[in-house]
Structure 1
Amino acid sequence: MIKVIDKELAWQLRHKVMWPNKPFDFIKIEEDDEGTHYGLYEGEELVSVLSLFVQGEQAHFRKFATLTNYQKRGFGSQLLNHVLDEATSTGIKRIYCNARVNKASYYEKFGFSKLGDTFNKSGKDYILMERYLLK
């Protein structure tokens, strides 16, 4: 089941998956209050989260994380497809993310293209990726 969740639930999973060795507040972002946070549940357990930030006809998704023991089982793909469908149905024309370089091929499977050069943030290499959405 996929539903909109509170940012605090997204924070817990983000911290556990993305930056467990950093202080808890490291995984929070200033824009969290303006975002829509989606969660995918397997039974009662929250296993994947993604936060979407809409700016006009564009949207930026951030902090996409799936519990390690649920990765490579299609849960993240279900969540990403859901968010792409939601964005399309609400009139979003372009969606983008800062993808970890080692995950770029994953996003390419969803129609995302690399844009620009790689950059380093907090010791990890990223690349901007985008996809144009059609209704």
Structure 2
Amino acid sequence: MALVQIEQIFPSLTWRIRHETMYPDQPFDIVKLKDDFEGIHFGLYADHKLTGVVSLFHEGSVYQFRKLAVLPNAQKSGYGTRLIDYILDFCKIQRATKLWCNARVNAKEFYFKFGFHETNSTFSKDGQDFVIMELILNYELQ
């Protein structure tokens, strides 16, 4: 089992992982988000090698995660789950009221495990079908 650490990283560190995982046949710049430098980015290091990333954006207490990506050769290792658990904990500390994402339709089962539910909002982009999924966060005030 690999030594796993998750830490906040610079936006530019997410780009290679996003590209290799999500858009390997597209130009590199497709992975850059216009608001990347306003987001909070987390990297999962497996044995000190950056292996997975996720980016978090918020408006008030509503958070959205984007570009959850784990390198293809490390998928099915639980790293995506570790990243989601980490941002859920982060949102709890921030007292977020909702966490949502644009989920690829073929990945929605993954998000159900964390309590996310589908909304009626769907769309297609770059040949992929997406559904907006959300999780209402009711954290008790301590």
TM-score range, shorter chain: over 0.9
| 1:97 aligns to 2:101 (yes or no) | yes
Structure-to-structure mapping, 1:10-25, within 5 angstroms: 10-25=14-29
Per-residue deviation, 1:117: 3.8
| 1:112 aligns to 2:116 (yes or no) | yes
When the two structures are superposed, what TM-score results if normalisation uses the length of structure 2? 0.93
Deviates more, 1:97-106 or 1:113-122: 113-122
- Matching residue's letter, 2:60: G
Per-residue Cα deviation, 1:92-134 (whole angstroms, up to 9, x for no partner): 1100000000000100001000001421011100000000112
Structure-to-structure mapping, 1:33-72, within 5 angstroms: 33-72=37-76
- Which sections of structure 1, spanning at least 5 residues, go unmatched? none
Instruction: Report the identity percentage.
Output: 42
Per-residue Cα deviation, 1:24-63 (whole angstroms, up to 9, x for no partner): 1101111101000100001121111000001101001000
- Which sections of structure 2, spanning at least 5 residues, go unmatched? none
How many residue pairs are counted as aligned between the two chains? 135
When the two structures are superposed, what TM-score results if normalisation uses the length of structure 1? 0.97
CA RMSD of aligned residues (A): 0.8
Moved over 2 A (4+): none
